[in-house]
Structure 1
Amino acid sequence: MKGLITAAITAIVVVLVTAIGLLAIVVTDDDAQATELPGGGGGLRAVPEEFRPWILRASSSCKYPELVPALLAAQLHQESGFGTGHVVSPAGAEGPAQFMPGTWDTWGRDDDHNGISSPYDIGDAVMAQGRMMCSLIGQAKHSGITGDVRALALAGYNAGWQAVVDADGIPPYDETQNYVSVILASMPRFQGPGQLNVPGHGDGPNALRKAAARMGTPYSWGGGTPQGPSTGFCDGTNGYQNGRCIASHTVGFDCSSLTQYAYWPSIKLPRTAADQYRATADHPVSRSNLKPGDLLFWAHGSAIYHVAIYAGDGNVLHAPRTGRDVSLAPLTSAMPDSDYVGATRP
């Protein structure tokens, strides 16, 4: 988008780009058979929490499957680095999705219903980005131009669709070439695992379903509340990565705040893993009888240090540790198997 002005005067180069997919494979054991967890198009990770619901909504609103959340996230990162506030490029492109004023007039809506249509509002900007990209993907599909329709759509977003038509492919501008290649190459950074399908109803499935919607949310020691993710803190031992305290500026969950959030307000679990074990220990569940939503606990000696939610098929959903995201993992390797204490059913 911000290349609309400079692209017209840039030198001629042609580029072919491809993108790669992710596939997460998990292992099995005798107690609970884990299944393969594909990295489907619905997953999302490593994006600021305020952008997450809008990216997912913009993706799901498009009828073309190529507009996956990771594509929109990678594009936003390239456009503005998920910029908020009054972000303006030297060419005059505005907001996190970097819309030129004339283009905003075409695609902008008051999607966040705050009474104003603004390229600086995250919801308005991301939904407008999604509408424009969806339209460009459709044009690419029906244009007869060969090549990756995602690449052609990105090129149209950056340089204008007419430039794509004139070039019969990705326009030969340096900025556009770099824009397309960087976004497609960085998609795996934002691609989370496929969305977890949780059947059934009741406290357990409902809690698992709620927690699964937070897959890809960063781990933050001490972060998270019953209302959602929040910044955490460092305590001299926890919350650090490579010697730096990152919990204090990472919006996310730790293991027990995720489980508390998942069950709240139907069941108001206490805050820490140890307290959650004590509060539910009178409803133990054997490893052979686990059901989705059951809580699983690990300990060093008698000190409970981790809790996870059973996700079915031999897998757990948890917030593992600093530097990782809320994710699925096999029960057998989520934490050291020798530390496994047992499971409870709240």
Structure 2
Amino acid sequence: MTAQTHVPSLLSRAGAVSALTLATVAGTMLAPGAASEAEAATLSVRALKIAESKKGSPYMYGATGPHRFDCSGLTLYSFKKAGKKLARTAQAQYNQTQHVSPSSRRKGDLVFFHSGRYVYHVGIYAGNGRIWHSPKTGSLVRLERIWSRSVLYGRVR
């Protein structure tokens, strides 16, 4: 075979790739307002870094920053600074997120602690079974291992 006989084959392959790319891009255009996987991951990692930057900030019930936080106040503040508005309470944030399985969790996902159907605490997943959170009165924003099996995961979009 000569180089000329490979040209149509290469063009048809390039055309197929271009069609797939166009279909993928068009698919994201069909759902306005929906973040792509990459955009959601970038947003979540930015929020994670913002929460990390608040290490040592004191807990204060009802506080949403920038110097004091309760649990959902820290997640609200972190995602707001990253460019996404969240609901105020842990339960409302859980209701707002795309629920993901423990095996699908990734850095920047929200970790919700629950008792039955009641969500009572939230933090931001940092990887390796740890979260950034603002635990309780008298404590500081910190990185801590997940201490319970009664957790649910949510991805902010």
Q: CA offsets, 1:187-211, max 9 Å, x none?
A: xxxxxxxxxxxxxx71011000011
1:299 to 114, 126, 138: 114
Which of 93, 103, 128 is the equivalent residue of 1:313? 128
Aligned residue among 95, 107, 128 for 1:278: 95
The structure with the largest alpha-carbon Rg is 1
1:27-60 CA-to-partner distances (Å, cap 9, x unmatched) read: xxxxxxxxxxxxxxxxxxxxxxxxxxxxxxxxxx
The equivalent position to 2:43 in structure 1, one of 187, 195, 203, is 203
SS in 2 for 1:264: helix
Structure with more of its chain in helix, by fraction: 2
Residues 170-227 of structure 1: per-residue CA shift (max 9 Å, x gap):
xxxxxxxxxxxxxxxxxxxxxxxxxxxxxxx7101100001100001111111124xx
Aligned equivalent of 1:185: none
- In structure 1, the residue matched to 2:8 is none
1:267 and 2:84 aligned: yes
Q: Which structure features the higher share of strand residues?
A: 2
The CA RMSD over aligned residues, in Å, is 1.4
Corresponding residue for residue 26 of structure 2: none
Structure 2: how far apart are the matches of 1:307 and 1:260? 10
Query: How far has the Cα of 1:321 moved from its partner?
Result: 0.9
Matches for 1:151-230 after TM superposition, within 5 Å = 202-225=42-65, 228-229=66-67
Code of the residue aligned with 2:144 in structure 1: it is A
Higher RCO, Cα 8 Å, sep 6+: 2
The TM-score, its normalising length taken from structure 1, stands at 0.32
Question: Per the alignment, in what secondary structure is the counterpart of residue 50 of structure 2?
Answer: helix
Structure 2 counterpart SS, 1:202: helix
In 2, the alpha carbon distance for the partners of 1:298 and 1:316 equals: 11
Deviation digits for residues 230-261 of structure 1 (CA, Å, limit 9, x no counterpart): xxxxxxxxxxxxxxxxxxxxxx1000000000
Aligned partner of 1:326: which letter? V
Aligned length: 115
> Could you tell me how far 1:300 is from its partner in structure 2?
2.0
Q: CA deviation at 1:289?
A: 2.0
Amino acid at match of 1:327: R
Match of 1:326 among 115, 125, 141: 141
Q: 1:289 maps to what in 2? A: 104
Aligned to 2:153: 343
CA distance in 1, matches of 2:62, 2:99: 27
Question: Which runs of 5 or more structure 2 residues have no equivalent in the other structure?
Answer: 1-40
Provide the TM-score with structure 2 as the length reference. 0.69
Matches within 5 A, 1:1-346: 202-225=42-65, 228-229=66-67, 252-265=68-81, 266-280=83-97, 283-331=98-146, 333=147, 336-337=148-149, 339-340=150-151, 342-346=152-156
